[in-house]
Structure formats: structure tokens, C-alpha cells
């Protein structure tokens, strides 16, 4: 198979490995539809992604993408981190400007309102509010799809250099890193990220993915059919706040999580709508975390998942039983005596990793988390094409 029909973004596997990043429990809608091909919905478009050693490949299916304006990518220039583009040290935290994504499509514009530059200081070490400043997106992207992917994968962040710094700081990370290169944090839509993780309570990745798909099928707008499957946009807050949603979700197998979804949607709708949620990108970590925990079914861990995965709080550390086990086994042996993750232990683990790894501690934590998952035991090498299918090559 040649690259015919695929568009390309220069991006080595050391910067991104999609087979880990898309399957490590950050997002629940990516499916490997063919070997080394992953399909999902981003910004109301159906994307299929693949990868070579040097490029991220993508296709956008069956839609007239229309006329898109430029999408700014966030970064911070900092001479204190020479050679590490777009990072900021803890002793030089600046006020930032949140992303503004604009599309001449009313439904998308409603989900992505323009933001005003945020003012004031960032949150300090607690959350690592690092995505400060604005970098121009590429202008050669006719329909905006490349810029959507660059923003989603946060390709303005040099993760290879971050790995070097984390490896210098931690011998355990240095042992893990060569086998798990290119693990990145996704920059997800906050609405999708929040309601997906509300479904994560006492759940596993496969079941969460099933719930999210049923939610999208029931309440999301239909998108193009790809490979015989109809894809749907993620539903907006208004759809999830409508009368009868809780009962319908219970009938779809959500159990007690149905109440959490419906109640949280109603609270958001009554307190500023989606603009309130997206606006949390522009406030310090501590405030964003506290605001999120006002929602039914959102505790400290879900709030940290949303802070890290969609609200640009790069130092947020979601602590679940798995992370607790990693911490007690490899870093904090005194925690082996602790029977459960209480508030004190939760905060202690977060502070430890922030002290160890710095402003992007949440990203480093995700690498350690992925490396400890049984599903990735064979991930010491990037996936290879099966022998029955020709590999994607750089030839045209």
C-alpha cells in the first residue's frame, strides 16, 4: 500500500506512537479498523489515522469540510528551556491565552466559542498550567484538518526532549522510556472528555468505550458511513440535559452512571453551558479542579483526568488504584501499608510526581501508566504490518 490517498504530517514515532496514545485510556472512541489504521471522530469529522516511521498519515471521510479559519496552537517560548520548544519552567509562569477554534459552521461554532485571553497568574506547581502563549498554525492546510490533528496531538510539544529530561530525573522512567516512546497527552474536547470519564466509575476501558458509543449513537448527530459503520458526533450538553435522558441511559446499560451524566449535564446547562466548561482552560488548576468537583459523579480523579486531558493542566495527576500501585511499588514504598487511596494519599502521590517530573508531570505519569498496562506488554516495538498486507511506504 502506497501513500496515495493519505495526507501526511511530519512526525516521527519518537514524537508519537498512535497505537499506544490512542488506546491507553485517554479517549474511548478510537478503533483499529484495519491493521495500523485507527478511525474516530474529531471536530465533527471522521478521521482515519496511520503512521510510518517518519509521518503521521490521515484521511478525512465523506464530508464537505467547508471554509475554515486559522487555528492557533498554544505554546510558550522560554529561553530557560533551550532546545525544548514551547515549555515553561515553574519559576516563570505567565498569563496565557486559551485556544480559539473557529469554523463557519454554526453547530461547530456553538461547541467552540472564542475565548478571551486569560489574565492573572497561573496556579503554580499544583497543576502545571503550561500551555501559555499562541503559535500560528500551518497555513497550507486547506480544510483545517491538519490543524485539528496538530492541536489534538499537541504536536507543538517536543515530547522526545521531555523524555530526556524525565529520564535524567528518574532512573525508573529511564528504564521504561526506550520501550514506550512517543506516548503523548491528547488535547480533547472538554465535553466529550468529561462525560466519557463520568462513565468510567468502577469500569474498564472496553465497557466505557461501549457506553460512550451508545451515548453518541443515541444523542449525537450522524456523520458519514465508513467501512459500513455510521459514525456520530459526540452529543452536546443540551442533548444530555434533556428530559428523560437518565431513564434512556439506564435502558442502555449505564446503571447508576446514567444519573451522573444527566445531573451533570443539567448543572452545566444551568450554569453557563458549554462555555463554562471550556472556559476552565483559562483558569488556574486549583480553580478548574474545584469547579469540576461540583458536578455529580465527578471526584478528584475524574476532575484530574479532565484537567489533564482537555483543560491544559499539564501537571494534573489522576490517581487511581493502578497509579497508587505504581507509586507504592516503584517510588513510595511506605504506601504499601495503606489500604486505599484516601484524600491524603491522593494528594501525596500527585505532589511527589510533580516534584519529580516538573511542569509536565501529568504527561510523564501517562507514560508510566501505559507501560504498566498488561495490554501493552508486547509494545516494546512499534506495531508491524501483518505479512499478508503490504506495508505503507513513502513511495507515491
Which residues participate in catalysis according to the annotation? Answer: 301
Distance (Å, whole) CA 67 – CA 83: 35
The cell for 354 is 510533580
Contact present, 78 and 130 (Cβ < 8 Å): no
Tell me whether strands 73-74 and 134-135 are parallel, antiparallel or unpaired: antiparallel
Distance (Å, whole) CA 311 – CA 189: 9
Amino acid at each position: 500500500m502506497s501513500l496515495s490517498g493519505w495526507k501526511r504530517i511530519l512526525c516521527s514515532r519518537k514524537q508519537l506512537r498512535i497505537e499506544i496514545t490512542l488506546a491507553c485510556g485517554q479517549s474511548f472512541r478510537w478503533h483499529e479498523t484495519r491493521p495500523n489504521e485507527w478511525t474516530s471522530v474529531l471536530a465533527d469529522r471522521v478521521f482515519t489515522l496511520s503512521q510510518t516511521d517518519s509521518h503521521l498519515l490521515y484521511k478525512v471521510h465523506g464530508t464537505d469540510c467547508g471554509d475554515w479559519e486559522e487555528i492557533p496552537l498554544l505554546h510558550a517560548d522560554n529561553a530557560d528551556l533551550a532546545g525544548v520548544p514551547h515549555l515553561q519552567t515553574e519559576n516563570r509562569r505567565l498569563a496565557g491565552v486559551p485556544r480559539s477554534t473557529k469554523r463557519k459552521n454554526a453547530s461547530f461554532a456553538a461547541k467552540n466559542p472564542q475565548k478571551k485571553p486569560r489574565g492573572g497568574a497561573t496556579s503554580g506547581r499544583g497543576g502545571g498550567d503550561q500551555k501559555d502563549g499562541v503559535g500560528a498554525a500551518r497555513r497550507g492546510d486547506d480544510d483545517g484538518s491538519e490543524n485539528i490533528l496538530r492541536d489534538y496531538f499537541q504536536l507543538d510539544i517536543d515530547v522526545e526532549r521531555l523524555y530526556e529530561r524525565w529520564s535524567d530525573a528518574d532512573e525508573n522512567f529511564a528504564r521504561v522510556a526506550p520501550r514506550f516512546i512517543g506516548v503523548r497527552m491528547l488535547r480533547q474536547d472538554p465535553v466529550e472528555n468529561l462525560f466519557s470519564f463520568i462513565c468510567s466509575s468502577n469500569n474498564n476501558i472496553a465497557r466505557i468505550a461501549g457506553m460512550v458509543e451508545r451515548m453518541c449513537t443515541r444523542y449525537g448527530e450522524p456523520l458519514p458511513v465508513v467501512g459500513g459503520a455510521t459514525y456520530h458526533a459526540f452529543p452536546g450538553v443540551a442533548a444530555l440535559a434533556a428530559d428523560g435522558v437518565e431513564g434512556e441511559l439506564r435502558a442502555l446499560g449505564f446503571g447508576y452512571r446514567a444519573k451522573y451524566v444527566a445531573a451533570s449535564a443539567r448543572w452545566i446547562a444551568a450554569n453557563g453551558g458549554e462555555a463554562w466548561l471550556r472556559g476552565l482552560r483559562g483558569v488556574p488548576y486549583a480553580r478548574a479542579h474545584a469547579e469540576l468537583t461540583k458536578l455529580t459523579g465527578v471526584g478528584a480523579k475524574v476532575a484530574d483526568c479532565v484537567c489533564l486531558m482537555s483543560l491544559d493542566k499539564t501537571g494534573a495527576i489522576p490517581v487511581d488504584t493502578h497509579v497508587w500501585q505504581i507509586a507504592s511499588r516503584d517510588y513510595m514504598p511506605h504506601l504499601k501499608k495503606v489500604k486505599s487511596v484516601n484524600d491524603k494519599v491522593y494528594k501525596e502521590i500527585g505532589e511527589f510526581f510533580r516534584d519529580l517530573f516538573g511542569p509536565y508531570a501529568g504527561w510523564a505519569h501517562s507514560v508510566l501508566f501505559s507501560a504498566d498496562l498488561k495490554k501493552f506488554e508486547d509494545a516494546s516495538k512499534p506495531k508491524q504490518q501483518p505479512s499478508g498486507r503490504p506495508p505503507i511506504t513513502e513511495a507515491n
